[in-house]
Copies of this chain bind each other. A is one copy, B any other.
Amino acid sequence: MNHKGTGSITARPRLFIGLMLMAAWLIPSVAYASSGWSPEPNTASVFGWLVIILVLARLASLVERVGQPPVLGEILVGVLLGNLILVGVQAFEAVKVDSRVGFLAQLGVVILLFQVGLETDIEEMRRVGVRALLVACAGVAVPFLAVALLVGPVLVPGLPVTTYIFLGGTLSATSVGITARVFRDLGRTQTPEARIVLGAAVIDDVLGLLILAVVSAIVVTGTADWGSVAWIALKAGAFLLGAIVLGNLAAAQLTRFFALIHTGIGMKFTLAIGFALTLAYLADLIGLAPIVGSFAAGIILEPIHFRQFDVPRIIDEVRGLIRGADPALKSEIGAVIEHHADRHVEDIIEPLSYFLVPIFFVLTGMSVKLDVLFNLPVLLVAIGITVVAIAGKVMAGFAAGKVNKWVVGWGMVPRGEVELIFAATGRALGVFSDELYSVLIVMVVLCTLIAPPVLAYLLRKSAREA
């Protein structure tokens, strides 16, 4: 807030000095990263790369100023760094293949899905009910079927059927994070439209991860008969359900056991992260994506599991101080601090996410090959896929019943994490060529770019009419 107090006259020289210092900070980093062009650059070079990635990704949060979500900025930074080789700068080619940076990125996406899981409330999903479910199913089915059966084979003919299925799957999910953020930025989280969209987006993510599990397994095992699809869907469903039922029992017992040893915040943190990583590797063990496991871990863990552990000292101290306060103030402050005590696990995971998640999205952007888009047919395919991706979600809005259907539909358009994970998985499995992968990243970027202004227009229009 403070920065708003500085007028443009004092802000200018400060901006200039800041830019100079930032250049002085980043230029040697880039030079150093460039010099580290060996098969295994030393630890300090990786520190240098991380500084560049993290600082540029954070600077890219400037896109928020024009109503865009930060994830978009992070991807664009990645696209920029990854394509510097087109103008002769080789510095970042080593980053693309470094196993240590790659591992941090993988860890980042596991943590991100764990966070999404932590924020997902099964009860809330049940409450938004049938309409959200209808919108979610329509929003998955329409773009998936349209691309897998029709648009895919027409626009890019001659590819294996698994590629079309993967392509359809990539269009199916909605970004919970981006969608929630757009509504929050516009102060509309309490409208029925927002609740339907958020509910549907959560269901979409689960459906999307299920589809990802199924299609990945089809690709890996090489079989696409309906029997094995059903088996994989069953396995994925059973894993999620089993993880939730057994995990809930285990989480309660394990947290109680560890609380006997130590109730410190470090123990709380280790339990949460240990749970996420354990389910991630169990998911991998039975052939699902690790992110499915960490998402399940997030759904399982509830504040109640951590009631026996310490809370931040600020909460203990304020609790002690308000003991003698007048009842009204006591209950007000008490409510605030108990709320924060409950979400403390989310708070202690957050810094890991600040550190690791941008690495994933920057690396994702870095693998986009801009040169493949320099030819017209590929660009046309990208635009075609994007149109289907948008139209499919907007049409799904019509399943929402008596609300503003256009708002619901456009609310489902932003794409984000799950699509990028889909695209990255498809690329890692060899299902998507460099061209197709780049097409999908362009689709994600365009959907995420176009939706917020349209949504803002629709919401302002409906407010005028009401």
Contact = CB atoms under 8 A, between A and B. Distances in A.
B106 A59 contact: no
Interface of A: 1-3, 6, 11, 14-15, 17-19, 21-22, 24-25, 28-29, 32, 40, 42-48, 50-51, 54-55, 57-59, 61-62, 64, 99-100, 103, 106-107, 110, 250, 253-254, 256-267, 269-270, 273-274, 277-278, 280-282, 284-285, 290, 307-308, 312-315, 317-318, 321-322, 324-325, 329, 332-333, 336-337, 340, 347-352, 354-355
A273 B308 contact: no
A250 B347 CA distance: 29
A313 B340 contact: yes
A307 B269 CA distance: 27
A332 B321 contact: yes
Contacts of A29: 278, 281
A46 B103 contact: yes
Contacts of A270: 54-55, 57-58, 354
8 contacts: A44-B285, A47-B284, A58-B258, A62-B261, A266-B354, A313-B340, A348-B354, A352-B355
Contacts of A50: 277
Given A61-B262, A348-B354, A350-B351, 9 more contacts: A3-B260, A17-B257, A18-B254, A43-B103, A45-B281, A54-B273, A265-B354, A314-B315, A325-B325
A314 B254 CA distance: 29
Q: What 6 pairs between A and B have smallest CB-CB spacing?
A: A18-B257, A44-B284, A58-B270, A314-B340, A100-B103, A44-B281
Contacts of A315: 314
Nearest to A55: B274
A262 B45 CA distance: 27
Contacts of A307: 2
A336 to B, nearest CB: 5
Contacts of A349: 351
A29 to B, nearest CB: 7
How many copies, total? 2
B321 A329 contact: yes
A42 B284 contact: yes
Contacts of A312: 340, 347
B322 A257 contact: no
Given A14-B257, A106-B43, A281-B29, A274 B22 contact: no
A336 B317 contact: yes
Nearest to A270: B58
Given A32-B285, A40-B99, A284-B44, A51 B277 contact: yes
A352 to B, nearest CB: 6
Contacts of A281: 29, 32, 44-45, 47-48, 51
A58 B275 CA distance: 14
A333 B318 CA distance: 6
A42 B347 CA distance: 29
B58 A262 contact: yes
A348 B40 CA distance: 31
A54 B351 contact: no
Contacts of A350: 265, 348, 351
A414 to B, nearest CB: 20
Most central of A257, A329, A351 by chain B CB within 10 Å? A351
